[in-house]
């Protein structure tokens, strides 16, 4: 099994102290490194008990996200304080684990591109994405959610449905929401008789036409490009 580890969330979480301690963030980089290394090794050990892990690729700290050029609203809601030791722990991951850094994209896109390439070569059952990020659910992939110690096996249909559902529900964390007030339950009912990509696309475009009228195509393309992970 080839593991593709999106380390961004793990890096961020490693900067936080335990809840019982005073203050939010660690002040000492050694504490952050220890927390990251322990969690990283735990994840590798858990998966090594289930699979023959042959290779581990780590991804983190990509820069220059192209989505911010599509709309200034993208992630504009993220105004909270960043952990002060975040740059140092990212640097540790790059040096110690040979973390792969992308330019002009998000780490998600870089992982997605490697997943597609390696799956085409070795087969989708030989490659696993390790991440808690829900955006990867748009792919028919094996995904390990390390926070729940759960392996997901996403089918082609579920991947299709997951992505088109997200196009309606949006992504609050990234400030992407084209249909405020419409959630998962609405999407499930709206797509209940859709089976193919053509059917999902046609049904979704009808919703954009209903809300955005003459700007439906523009808004549809914008939403698609914000939510679809790049695989090339």
Q: 216-227 and 197-212 are packed helices; what angle lies between their axes, rounded to 10 degrees?
A: 130
Mean pLDDT of the region 77-98: 91
Average pLDDT, the chain: 94
Q: Does some domain include residue 208?
A: yes
Q: Does some domain include residue 232?
A: no
Check pLDDT > 80 for residue 62.
yes
* 180-217 pLDDT tens trace: 999 999 999 999 999 999 999 999 999 999 999 999 99
- Burial class from Cβ neighbours inside 10 Å (0-12, 13-18, 19+) for residue 166 reads buried
Token pair for residue 28?
């000492």
CA-based nearest residue to 92, from 5, 160, 212, 11: 11
Query: How many contiguous H segments (helices) and E segments (strands) does the chain have?
Result: 9, 5
Token pair for residue 39?
């969690």
Local confidence band at 138 (pLDDT 50, 70, 90 cut-offs): very high
CA distance 178 to 208: 9
CA-based nearest residue to 93, from 133, 39, 135, 17: 39
Query: Residue 101's domain spans which residues?
Result: 2-154
Does residue 163 sit in the same domain as residue 206? Answer: yes
Check pLDDT > 80 for residue 37.
yes
Token pair for residue 147?
């926070």
Counted domains in the chain? 2
Phi, psi of 56 (to 5 degrees): -130, 120
CA distance 145 to 151: 6
Does residue 32 sit in the same domain as residue 89? Answer: yes
Does residue 57 sit in the same domain as residue 137? Answer: yes
Check pLDDT > 90 for residue 157.
yes
What's the pLDDT score for residue 196?
96
Of 117, 137, 154, the last residue of a domain is 154
Check pLDDT > 80 for residue 166.
yes
What's the pLDDT score for residue 147?
93
């Amino acid at each position: 099994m080839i593991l593709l580890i999106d380390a961004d969330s793990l890096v961020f979480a490693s900067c936080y102290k335990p809840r019982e301690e005073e203050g939010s963030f660690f002040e000492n980089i050694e504490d952050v490194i220890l927390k990251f290394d322990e969690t990283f090794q735990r994840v590798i050990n858990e998966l090594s008990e289930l699979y023959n892990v042959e290779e581990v690729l780590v991804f983190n700290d990509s820069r220059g996200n192209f989505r911010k050029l599509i709309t200034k609203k993208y992630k504009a809601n993220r105004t909270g304080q960043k952990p002060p030791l975040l740059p140092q722990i990212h640097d540790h991951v790059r040096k110690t684990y040979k973390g792969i850094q992308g330019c002009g994209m998000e780490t998600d896109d870089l992982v997605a591109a490697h997943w597609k390439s390696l799956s085409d070569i070795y087969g989708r059952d030989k490659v696993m994405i390790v991440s808690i990020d829900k955006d990867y659910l748009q792919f028919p992939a094996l995904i390990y959610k390390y926070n729940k110690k759960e392996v997901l096996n996403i089918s082609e249909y579920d991947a299709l449905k997951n992505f088109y559902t997200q196009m309606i529900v949006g992504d609050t964390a990234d400030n992407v929401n084209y249909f405020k007030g419409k959630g998962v339950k609405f999407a499930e009912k709206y797509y209940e008789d859709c089976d193919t990509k053509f059917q999902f696309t046609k049904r979704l475009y009808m919703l954009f036409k209903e809300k955005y009228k003459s700007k439906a195509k523009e808004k549809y393309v914008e939403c698609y490009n914000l939510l679809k992970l790049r695989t090339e």
